[in-house]
Structure 1
Amino acid sequence: MTETTTPSTAPHRRWPLLVLGGVVLLAIGVAVVAATLGGRGPTASQPAPSDPSAPATVSSTAPTSADPLPVAVFLGDSYTQGFPPVPAEQRWSTLVAADAGWTEVNQGLGGTGFVTTSVMSACGLEYCPTYVERVPGVIAAAPDVVLIAGGQNDRAALAADPDRVRAAVDATYDQIRQGLPNARIIAVGPSTAEPATDLIVELDAWVQAAAARVGADYVSLIDPVVIEEDMIGPDRVHVNEAGYRAIADRVLTVALAD
């Protein structure tokens, strides 16, 4: 008997496989070329299309912040610290800094003066140093502007030893000028809720003289008197919000003069 051979179908099945393999290889080649020529994503010269609904972004090459504001240190007593406790934005020092475009560094401590220290009930610290003792802290802040205000807490020392107070006024201004030769200094004389006594007037004159000697600007709060009756707080010692605003406005007449 003669054996019959059935033709193999293998060659017919091989063609689709070859075609499929070619397609896959072609797709891979196209992908590689695309990645090489331009498929890496957006670049600085080829930004991606923006989504109108997406929030705006700042370019990495643009400045990230404005030039820093001048730093101003305020050295003073409870009038500078803000007493009775008031929102920071209502203190005269904060009002001045905001209107003048300064960054405020508030170094006010209640109850203190050029030679007078205080306690926690007045300033919040176990020991509240004098102005002279706080000069190193003023210098360490490396400010562009220094405002030295007050002195009315030295009334007892003024009566007992005026020469000591005057020497402390001179030392405060001299040391700050020596440590900050290029800083602007603004001297703000003492102020009181009651009419100024002869001792306060004399202290104000010493502050003015010290300011002139070190090339500082000078602001008087008693000539003419800045604190009026309706600006005095319930304790009859400190001022209310209107008083802080009035002090700020007086200081600003000099601070904004240049």
Structure 2
Amino acid sequence: MKLGPSRRLAAVAGLAVLLVVIVMFAGLSAVGRDGGSDYVSSYTPPPTEAATQLPVAAFLGDSYTAGANAEGAENRYAVRVCRAMTFRCTINGQAETGYISDGSGQRGEKRFVDRIFDLQRDGLPSLIVVQGGMNDPGSGVELRIAAVGTYQQIRAMYPDSRVLVFGPVAAPGLSLNDVIAKRDSLKTAAAEVGVEFVDPIGNGWFTDLSLFAKDGVNLNRRGHQELATRLTASLQ
């Protein structure tokens, strides 16, 4: 049957009303599922063009760099350093790992040398900070050789990057003699390859025991803040 102009107009208007009702109903249903005004979108906008132009600082390390006991990702020393120095931050920290140690292996942990390639995840880094050594067995020739190999590979892969090695901290839960021996091995390795070495023990850092977590090894939130402040000053 052929509809006249007036009936066609009425049919179109009726269809439009129906679509409006459907959209309104869907909107009300969505509000109910998401909790109304309490809904928080999980969408993360891409970095702005200005942010992608910032230099990258990459951090390679153990639980210190992973942010153990920092009480939030934004409180990690590495994030604080990047914020203070206007870097984009690439953080590659895995607990219980080191130059020799690959951790427990339960979560796919790897030695430092096996994670060097990942430091370019957010772009070629202008700065590379290597932190760790306290999880490694021994403290003599074996550690020095492993550290030399790690620094050499970093140099080979990132020849234009500034490389800074952050030595072990004299944590109250560790043997001071053992930590000093590891420090000496890493310091010698850094000098051999020609990369910078920051010595928290020689500089008298972290003598305040309140900067450490209850385990006596990792830093707490205040400790991360202190490390960020000290490290930023060393980098400037």
Q: Do both proteins adopt the same fold according to a TM-score greater than 0.5, normalized to the shorter chain?
A: yes
The answer for the alignment partner of 2:80 in structure 1 is 95
1:110 match: secondary structure? coil
2:100 match: secondary structure? coil
- Residue 219, structure 1, aligned to residue 204, structure 2: no
Q: 1:148 aligns with which of 130, 152, 155?
A: 130
The answer for the alignment partner of 2:165 in structure 1 is 187
**What is the rounded CA distance, in whole Å, between the counterparts of 2:168 and 2:74 in structure 1?**
22
Preserved CA contact (<8 Å) 1:169 1:210: yes
**What is the rounded CA distance, in whole Å, between the counterparts of 1:69 and 1:196 in structure 2?**
40
Query: RCO (CA 8 Å, sep 6+): is it higher in 1 or 2?
Result: 2
Structure 1 residues not aligned, in runs of 5+: 1-62
- Residue 129, structure 1, aligned to residue 110, structure 2: yes
- The alpha-carbon distance between structure 1 residues 83 and 233, as it changes in their structure 2 partners (threshold 3 A), is same
Q: Which amino acid aligns with 1:151?
A: G
- Residue 138, structure 1, aligned to residue 119, structure 2: yes
CA apart distance, 1:64: 6.0
- The alpha-carbon distance between structure 1 residues 127 and 224, as it changes in their structure 2 partners (threshold 3 A), is same
**What is the rounded CA distance, in whole Å, between the counterparts of 1:224 and 1:184 in structure 2?**
21
**What is the rounded CA distance, in whole Å, between the counterparts of 1:196 and 1:217 in structure 2?**
25
CA apart distance, 1:139: 5.2
Matching of residues 1-258 of structure 1 within 5 Å: 65=50, 68-84=53-69, 86-119=71-104, 126-138=107-119, 141-154=123-136, 157-158=137-138, 162-194=140-172, 197-227=176-206, 228-256=208-236
How many residues get paired?
186
**What is the rounded CA distance, in whole Å, between the counterparts of 1:198 and 1:139 in structure 2?**
36
Identity %: 28
Q: What is the TM-score normalised by the length of structure 1? A: 0.66
Preserved CA contact (<8 Å) 1:81 1:107: yes
**What is the rounded CA distance, in whole Å, between the counterparts of 2:52 and 2:109 in structure 1?**
35
Structure 2 residues not aligned, in runs of 5+: 1-47
- The alpha-carbon distance between structure 1 residues 204 and 101, as it changes in their structure 2 partners (threshold 3 A), is same
Measured against aligned partners, the alpha-carbon deviations of 1:180-237 in whole angstroms (never above 9, x if no partner) come to 1110111100114226523321221232233334342221121233222111212222
1:250 match: secondary structure? helix
Preserved CA contact (<8 Å) 2:211 2:222: yes
